[in-house]
Amino acid sequence: MKRNWRQDEVEEHWFLFEHEKKQINGRTNSTRLGFAVLLKFFQLEGRFPDTPQEVPLNAVHYIAHQTGIPATAWGAYPWNKRIAAYHREAIRNMLGYRQHTAQDLSLLFNRLMDEVLDHEIRNDRLFSFALQHYRDCSIEPPASEQLRRLIQSALAAHETRFCNSVFSHLDGLSVKRMDTLLEVESGGDGDWTIWQQIKSDPGKAGIESIKEAVSRLKTVRDIALPTGLFRETHPKLLERYARRAAVEEPFELRRHSAPLRVTLMAAFLCRRSEELTDHLVDLLIETVHKMGKKAEKRIDSGLAEVLQKAPSKMAKLYRIAKASVEAPQGIVSDVIFPEAPEKWLQTLIKEVEQGTGYTSKVKTALQKSYRHHYRRMLPELLHNLQFRCTGTQHQPLLQALELVTSMLEYKKTTFPQDVEVPLKGIVPAGWMTLVVEEGGVNRTAYEICVLKLLREQLRCREVWVVGSRRYRDPEEDLPQDFEERKASYYAELGIPVDPQEFTASLKEELKGHLEQLDARMPINPGVKIVAVKDGHRISVTPFDPKPEPDNLTILKREIIQRWPGTSLLDVLKEADLRAEFTKFIQSGTERSHMDRDTLRRRILLCLFGMGTNTGIKSMEALPTDDYKDLLYVRRRFISIESLRQAISQVVNATLAIRLQKIWGEATTACASDSKQFGAWDQNLLTEWHLRYGGRGVMVYWHVEKNAACIYSQFKRVSSSEAAAMIQGVLRHCTEMDVERQYVDSHGQNAIAFAFCRLLGFDLMPRLKGINKQKLYKADSSQEFPNINPVMAAKSIDWELIEQHLDTAVKHAVALKAGMADAESLLRRFSRSNAQHPAYRALVELGKAIKTIFLCRYLDSEELRREVHEGLNVVESWNSTNGFIFYGKQGEISTNRRESQEMGLLCLHLLQASMVYVNTLMIQQVLTEPGWLKRMTPRDLAALSPLITQHINPYGRFELDMEKRLPLAA
């Protein structure tokens, strides 16, 4: 049972009705209160509490108030006496329950085996399922320990049944091939096996990485696992066994029984085949992009050298620049032409465009580098990737790929005259002169065009790859039973099935907001529509920064005095002792024999070393915890999934301990933003980005208004922030319900507005280019005299939305159900895929929703402040990252994706633990007499647990002047 209940929740769920009060009449003191508490607890949980501490304290006080008995009497209740057993029997009879039997245990065992264990193994969730099962059957569940033993027995039996089933579907040859992967290679350094080579990550985009990925993929495919071996297996079950195999060393796999060993390896190889195919497609996409950029860079440097060798040109260009700066408002003929005549400028333009031939030289350089270097990747890619498309629109591309594949061994520079080469839709107009020559179609130029087009279509998933996971057929991401369950899916999203009813409601909402904004615009003090040279723009007055309240400074000083130099490692330890998050960090294998206290200490040391980026080597403490011990714990116990569960536990604990009088009511608003971290670049994730500067990866944070980060995502710098925003709202596992999501300009677009509306939460961005925004009419006949200058020329196309509402809802359902990650699923709806029939409909829907938001945003200063303050919190979270993630100058010094992601999740866990402990410290101070009274509403509004002045993240340094190093005199 949750520990933190709001007062309205207590009054709703712990209220004693008249017929219930009659049952407690005749009882006195502690037995009267105890009976009432047990009754309400049983009604809510379907079981009796194991200890008195399980019952929330405010619930006990509320029931005590209703019964007229002091709340202190609950401590005197005869918990283990005969009267307690009598009370339990009376409550069971009153509510129609009975005690469990052996047959009931057998029924639960079978339900776990057949319905639950395929997709869930977390003990807490299995325990909750068991309790709900007994509650549905009106049966009092067995004792907690007996229930846990039953769950463990079911887990073992389920594993045996599944492994035997997989083993029976494999022939001896496949088993022998898998065992070969575990054999130690002779002549190698150490115990190196093919199995370990298969698990390696891809390197930086390039020919060598493609060859290595192809080699690994061929090794996996040569095992020849039966087609459809895991077709009926739940994806979570397959993922569980694959993850378990990934953390085990070859010698550990060899020790397992044949059914278990083969099942683990088959599950891993099945998943690894998909991952390697994904890696190969990623390498293709990045390499094609890379060869184009390198050609441009080469020509740019050459062009710079040409201009530098012409001093007369540089002198005149200098005079042009100086004249432009001195008279920026002047006319060109009066300012520029005296320094450089028009004819001279035309000659310069002609020299750059034709003499140096920039565009043609880039293409020529690209052809040259492709012909002599990059073309070697073509056989590797085309022979190992199978490309498909659902519609007929991209069939010419597939035909072109088939032609290129068939001509790989052909030696001439042009295709044979009798071969029909598809050109329409393949070769852009700018490349046509290079592709079509007098002697025929140039193969090199044509292959470059095919690869560039293939890259674009793979990115938006119009062309998909057989055997891939992220680049699979996009229809597999969607619910296959949509037509049969259409009504229930619409009801789940709260959308009427009739498209016209949906658009009519939305149209009225849009009209109302536009009319309200138009009517209030003349008296709106912070928003104006101003005329500029190219039209009209929206002008929003920025907010003045507020000084930090004096009382917060005094509060921070008090915290520093009470807890000076608090070790960050002690903060992590305290958070675990209170929230017990390390119980979720369990072995990836079937059992662990390590002492729990030792394991807990080593887990905390590993988490700290990874979360501060100092590494687990720095956490070595001889003789108890040497580096090998910590490395074993990090490899065997710490995983991405377990870290997410631990983070959720800490965040939920933070939400539970908050005092409403200090932090206000529970919020449903969350803000999200990204932060770049430097990283090694011999991998596919690290990117150079002009917006951030330098190479790195990105973490996208979701932080609620009181600085509890409910979700974090590890992603590429160039990947969609709008998709990451949706993913975080849907996939976070905390108790918070997100109804309003604040983002900056990069976290929003028309598609994001459309999906957020369909998924049931409000997207509320702080737009950097607010002055350039346009409002869209619901009807072209509408007129708004005060805001007409910033209205778009076209109105919303409601008919288009109605035509494709089913497609939009289908994708929204897939997002909500987690059938695919948001990045993969929303990749289809991008500008590069504007011809997709649903893309234009979603854009129209997004325009309508965005206009509604803009009307509210421009009309309400309070809303603008709310969005601004929410994003300030996530920016404070970002600024605190550097305080914790200080090791190696904040750069991620590994090229393994899993290690990079786990390091940043450990940072999230460390920072969440600091917020949790700081919340306790702040509350301890403010609950003392006099402190809370001096806090003004402004103080409480600015209060944040993201304070670090009292935290020492490095360790303790002790200086003993009497102790000397053991050196000779």
pLDDT digits (tens, 9 = 90+) for 26-63: 777 788 888 888 888 888 888 888 888 888 888 888 88
Distance CA 179, CA 265 (A): 9
The lowest-confidence range among 99-103, 117-121, 190-194 is 190-194
* pTM as predicted: 0.85
CA distance from start to end of the chain? 67
Q: Evaluate if residue 585 carries a pLDDT over 60.
A: yes
Q: Identify which of 796, 725, 825, 737 has the alpha carbon closest to the alpha carbon of residue 765.
A: 725
The lowest-confidence range among 563-572, 639-648, 792-801, 818-827 is 818-827
Q: Which band of pLDDT confidence, cut at 50, 70 and 90, is reported for residue 201?
A: confident
Instruction: State mean pLDDT over 560-583.
Output: 93
Instruction: State mean pLDDT over 825-852.
Output: 87
Distance CA 850, CA 864 (A): 15
Q: Identify which of 496, 462, 508, 506 has the alpha carbon closest to the alpha carbon of residue 846.
A: 506
Q: Which band of pLDDT confidence, cut at 50, 70 and 90, is reported for residue 308?
A: very low
Pairing of strands 709-715, 98-99: unpaired
pLDDT digits (tens, 9 = 90+) for 874-894: 999 999 999 999 999 999 999
Q: Which band of pLDDT confidence, cut at 50, 70 and 90, is reported for residue 446?
A: very high
Distance CA 226, CA 233 (A): 14
Sequence-ordered alpha helix ranges (H) in 248-331: 250-255, 258-308, 311-326
Return the SS3 of 532.
strand
Instruction: State mean pLDDT over 808-819.
Output: 93
pLDDT digits (tens, 9 = 90+) for 607-631: 999 999 999 999 988 888 899 999 9
Residue 588: its pLDDT value, please? 67
Asked if 795 and 776 touch (Cβ cutoff 8 Å), the reply is yes
Residue 307: its pLDDT value, please? 47
Residue whose pair of structure tokens reads 């006080």 in the numeric block: 61
Instruction: State mean pLDDT over 545-561.
Output: 89
The lowest-confidence range among 487-491, 562-566, 761-765, 833-837 is 833-837
A 10 A CB-CB count for 342 gives 11
Asked if 863 and 869 touch (Cβ cutoff 8 Å), the reply is no
780, exposed or middle or buried, with CB in 10 Å at 0-12, 13-18, 19+? exposed
Q: What percent of the chain has pLDDT over 90?
A: 52
> How many residues are given for the chain?
969
Distance CA 115, CA 967 (A): 69
The chain-wide mean pLDDT, for the chain, equals: 88
pLDDT digits (tens, 9 = 90+) for 641-670: 999 999 999 999 999 889 888 998 888 999
Distance CA 843, CA 753 (A): 9
Instruction: State mean pLDDT over 275-280.
Output: 93
Return the SS3 of 679.
strand
Distance CA 281, CA 466 (A): 11
Residue whose pair of structure tokens reads 């108890």 in the numeric block: 624
pLDDT digits (tens, 9 = 90+) for 523-551: 998 899 998 877 889 999 988 888 888 88
Q: Evaluate if residue 309 carries a pLDDT over 50.
A: no
The lowest-confidence range among 287-291, 591-595, 929-933 is 591-595
Asked if 238 and 270 touch (Cβ cutoff 8 Å), the reply is yes
Question: What would you report as the CA-atom Rg of the chain, rounded to the nearest whole angstrom?
Answer: 33
Q: Evaluate if residue 409 carries a pLDDT over 70.
A: yes
Residue 349: its pLDDT value, please? 65
Residue 79: its pLDDT value, please? 79
Asked if 773 and 538 touch (Cβ cutoff 8 Å), the reply is yes
Give the range with max mean pLDDT: 42-56, 287-301, 316-330, 516-530. Answer: 516-530
Instruction: State mean pLDDT over 810-832.
Output: 88
Instruction: State mean pLDDT over 444-459.
Output: 92
Q: What is the 3-state secondary structure (H, E, C) of 774-834?
A: CECCCCCCCCCCCCHHHECCCCCCHHHHHHCHHHHHHHHHHHHHCCCCHHHHHCCCCHHHC
Q: Identify which of 743, 736, 706 has the alpha carbon closest to the alpha carbon of residue 871.
A: 743
Q: Which band of pLDDT confidence, cut at 50, 70 and 90, is reported for residue 710?
A: very high
pLDDT digits (tens, 9 = 90+) for 212-235: 999 999 999 999 999 889 988 988
Q: Evaluate if residue 89 carries a pLDDT over 70.
A: yes
Residue 312: its pLDDT value, please? 62
Instruction: State mean pLDDT over 5-16.
Output: 82
